[in-house]
Amino acid sequence: EIKKEISELREAIKLAKRKGIDITKAEKMFNQIIFNYNFLKNDGSKGVHNHEYVISILEKIDNDIAEIKNITK
């Protein structure tokens, strides 16, 4: 599901940029989403060792996705 969201966000950012919307913050947040997603995806423990930290990262990703959607409306 996050892969689909990432793809949709990438397109929304491109479209917003073409419309002249200031997407500086959205781009920074998007890059952080990508970093966090890859960090979790490549974690060998699959979140077993520190599941609370994994949950906090997933919540951050969700919040950033919502904010980017708001910026790029």
State residue 46's pLDDT score.
65
Q: What is the DSSP letter of 23?
A: -
Average pLDDT over residues 3-20: 95
Cβ density class 38-47: b for 16+ within 10 Å, e for less: eebeeeeeee
How do residues 18-69 score in pLDDT, each as one tens digit? 999 999 999 999 999 999 999 988 887 766 778 888 899 999 999 999 999 9
Q: What is the C-alpha to C-alpha distance for residues 12 and 6, in angstroms, rounded to an integer?
A: 10
Q: Are 10 and 30 in contact (CB under 8 A)?
A: yes
User: What's the pTM value of the predicted model, to 2 decimals?
Assistant: 0.87
Q: How far is CA 3 from CA 19, 21, 26, 34, 54, in A?
A: 25, 24, 17, 10, 17
